[in-house]
Amino acid sequence: MQNFRYLFVIMFAVQFLACNAQKAAVQKPAIKPAEPTKLAMSPELLWDVKRVTGLGLSKDDNYIVYKVSTPQVSENSFSSKTYKVNIQSGIVEDVTNPSNELHDRNLSPDGKYKLADRAVKVEPVHGFDFHPDLQKSTAQIYTSLDYRHWDTWNDGTYNHVLFGSATAADSTYKDILEGMPYNCPQKPFGGSEDYIWSPDSKSIVYVSKKSKGTQAVQSTNTDLYQYNIATGNTTNLTEANKGYDVAPSYSISGDLAYLSMATDGYEADKNDLKVISKGITYNLTAQWDESVQSFIWAKNGKNLFFTAAVDGTLQLFEVDFPGMTRKLPTVRQLTKGDWDVNDIIGLTGDLIIVSRVSMNRAAEIYSYNTVSQKWTQLTNVNTDLYKNIAEAKTERRYVTTTDGKQMLVWVVYPPGFDPNKKYPTLLYCQGGPQSALTQFYSYRWNLHLMASQGYIVVAPNRRGMPGHGVAWNHEISKDWGGQNIQDYLSAIDDVSKETYVDKSRLGAVGASYGGYSVFYLAGIHNKRFKTFIAHDGSFNLYSMYGSTEEIFFVNYDFGGPYWEEKNSKTYRDFNPVHHVQKWDTPIYIIQGGRDYRIPENQGLEAFTAAQLKGLKSKLLYLPDENHWVIKPQNSLVWQREFFKWLKETL
C-alpha cells in the first residue's frame, strides 16, 4: 500500500513539473543554448598539432613555400606535405616538387656549378678498419676525445662540402676538404646554411672548426673559410676571432655578413652581427646590449633585419650598414608583443616573412609590413584545431630578486582561472643554462598544456636568460648554484603570496640545466616543494665533467676540471650530489639513453640515491632518445607519466 502511495506522489510531481515547464515556455523567451565548452589541451591533442616550417620564397617572390609535418602516433613517425601560399591573396596550393618552386641556393650565381655535402670516411675507428681480417668485429678504437657527440659515436666520417658542374652527376664533384678530419656542415645540427657561393661564382665560403680530437672538444673556434675554385687555395676570413663565426650571407653589393662570438669556449657569448666589406670587418651590434639570433640582408644591401630575445620574447630588429662612413650603426626594434618571432623566411617588397609562435599557439607563417607595421597571418594550419581548445592566460610579473634586481616572471594560469579558488603551482626551471625563456611553444615542456591540467605555472627569467642585457645572461656561468637559484626561490615565493596559490601543493620541474636546478633545489628548498621532476639534469658534477662530450662547456661554466683547486666551490657547493643527505621529497627522474651531453649516468645516479634514501621516486628511461624526446609514442608516454606523477604527489 505504501509503495502505491510513493508511486502516486512521484507521478503527481512529474505532471506538476511538466505543466510548469509548459507555462514557462509560453511566458518566457527561449533560452539560447550555451556555446560548446572548449576542450582543455591534453597530451593527445598536443600530438594532433601539425608542425609548420617555412622553406622560403618562391622564385617569383609571390608565394611562401612551407612544409607541414603531421605526427603519425600509431606509426611512431611523421608524415609531411609541402604547400605554397600566395602572399597577397592567401590562396594555398599543393606543391609536388619543392625544388621547382624555390631558389636553388646550391647553384652558383652564373649557373655553372652546384654545391653538395656528404659524410666522407676519413679516419679508421672500427676494429675491422685496423684488422681487415676481422670484419665482424664491433670494436671501436679511439686515441683522443671527440669519440662521441650529442647522440652519435664518431665512426670516422666527417661532413664535407663538394662542388662540380651543374650538369654533371654529383659523384664527380670535387671534395674541397678532401682527407681533412674537419666538418662542414658542422655536427650535429649544421646544414646547407654552413656554405654559400660568392656573388661572382668564383669561390665558396664555408664554416668549419679546423681542430680535431681533444683540442676540438675544448674549443668553439669555428671560422669562415673562402675556397677559390680555380686555384684550390683556402683563406681564413675570420682568423682574428677565436669564438664562433657562423651563418655567412652575401648582400646584393657583395658584402659578407655573419654571426660572431668573441670568446673561445663560451658557447653562450654575445652573438654579434658583423660584415666584411672591402677587406674591413665591421661589428654592427658592438654597442648594443643584446644578442642576435638570426638575420637576413635587406634587398638594397644597406641594412639587415634580425631576431633577438628582448624582455621575455623574440622580436624583429633592424640595423643599418653605414660601410666605410664614420657613422655608427643604429639598431631599431621593429616589433613588440607577447609572441616569438622564430625565423625570418624571406623578404618581398615591404614585407618580412617570418614564423611566429606563442605559448598558446604553435608556429604559423606571418608577414610583417615594415611601413604600415601590420601583421598578416598567411597560414592557418592549426587554426581550426585551436578554435576548440581553451587558452591559458599568460601574464607578466616583475619580482624583486635577493640582490635588488627586477626579474620578469611569466605566470601561466589554467583556462577558466578563478581567483577565488586555490591551485597547485609548478615552478618551471628552464634549461640552457643560457637559453631565452620567451613565448616559446614546445611539444614536451608545453606550459599551455601544464596549465590546462589545472596547474599555475611560474616561469622565471632568472640569471642566465638572454633578452635582459649581456651581463644578466653571463652571470650564471661559474655560479650554477648561486644567484640564479635564489632567483627561482624569489619567483615562487612571490607568486605564492597570492590567495589562489595552494602553498601546500608546490612542485618544481625542468630539464637539462632545469633538471640540474631540480636536483639542486631538492637539497636546499626547506620544505617549499611537495614534488620534483628532473629530466636529463646534471646530478654529479664530477662524473658530468668526466663523461660529457663538449668539454668547452663544462670548462667555461664550471671553471674547469674538478681536480683543479680553483674550481672547488663549483664541485663542492654547487654540486647536487653533496646535498642529497637533505633530500626529503618525492622525485621523478627522466633520462635519455643516447644523451651524451648529459650522459645517462647522471639520471641513474640520482635515481639510485633517491631509492636508497627510501624516497618515493620513479625513473623513466628512454634508451633510444637523446637530450630531447623525438619519437611520438615516447613523447606521449613522457606526457602521460609526467601528469600521472603530479596527480600522485601533488
525 noted as active-site residue: no
CA dist 10 and 451 (Å) reads: 45
pLDDT of residue 15: 41
Among the listed residues 481, 485, 490, the one whose alpha carbon sits nearest the alpha carbon of residue 397? 490
The number of domains in the chain is: 2
In percent, how much of the chain has pLDDT > 70?
94
Residue 46 CA to its chain's centroid (Å): 17
Residue 310 lies in a domain: no
Per-residue pLDDT tens digits for 115-148: 999 999 999 999 999 999 999 999 999 999 999 9
* 194, 209, 236 - which closes a domain: 236
Asked if pLDDT for residue 95 goes beyond 80, the answer is yes
Residue 84 lies in a domain: no
Residue 381 lies in a domain: no
CA distances from 257 to 198, 214, 245, 278, 348 (A): 12, 31, 10, 12, 20
CA dist 270 and 248 (Å) reads: 17
pLDDT of residue 37: 86
pTM: 0.93
CA distances from 111 to 58, 174, 183, 238 (A): 18, 17, 26, 28
Query: Are the beta carbons of 518 and 581 closer than 8 angstroms?
Result: no
Among the listed residues 563, 555, 423, 445, the one whose alpha carbon sits nearest the alpha carbon of residue 495? 423
594 burial (CB, 10 Å; 0-12 / 13-18 / 19+) is middle
Pick the more confident residue, 34 or 647. Answer: 647
Q: Half-sphere exposure of 594 toward its Cβ, with a 13 Å CA cutoff?
A: 11
Residue 540 lies in a domain: yes
Residue with cell 636568460: 465
187 contacts: CB under 8 Å, gap ≥ 6: 149, 150, 152, 159
137 noted as active-site residue: no
Alpha-carbon dihedral of residues 216, 220, 224, 230, nearest 10 degrees? 0
Give the structural domain span for 456.
390-649
* 201, 236, 271 - which closes a domain: 236
Residue 537 lies in a domain: yes
Query: What mean pLDDT value characterizes the chain?
Result: 94
Q: Give 281's strand partners.
A: 276
φ and ψ at 470, to 5 degrees? -65, -40
pLDDT of residue 36: 62
Per-residue pLDDT tens digits for 241-298: 999 999 999 999 999 999 999 999 999 999 999 999 999 999 999 999 999 999 999 9
578 noted as active-site residue: no
Residue 633 lies in a domain: yes
Per-residue pLDDT tens digits for 326-344: 788 999 999 999 999 999 9
Per-residue pLDDT tens digits for 373-385: 999 999 999 999 9
CA distances from 50 to 114, 254, 356, 454, 630 (A): 33, 39, 14, 24, 14
Identify the three-state secondary structure at position 63. strand
pLDDT of residue 323: 84
CATH code at 634?
Answer: 3.40.50.1820
Residue 481 lies in a domain: yes
Query: Are the beta carbons of 378 and 63 closer than 8 angstroms?
Result: no
Q: Which residue of the set 198, 512, 538, 635 is catalytic?
A: 512
Per-residue pLDDT tens digits for 595-604: 999 999 999 9
Asked if pLDDT for residue 3 goes beyond 90, the answer is no
CA distances from 76 to 73, 613, 636 (A): 5, 37, 10
CA dist 443 and 16 (Å) reads: 55
CB atoms within 10 A of CB 369: 13
Asked if pLDDT for residue 627 goes beyond 70, the answer is yes
Residue 380 lies in a domain: no
Reading the block at residue 544, the C-alpha cell is 658530468
Average pLDDT over every residue of 563-575: 98
Per-residue pLDDT tens digits for 387-440: 999 999 999 999 999 999 999 999 999 999 999 999 999 999 999 999 999 999
In percent, how much of the chain has pLDDT > 90?
93
Q: What is the CA radius of gyration of the chain?
A: 28
Among the listed residues 301, 306, 335, the one whose alpha carbon sits nearest the alpha carbon of residue 318? 306
pLDDT of residue 324: 75
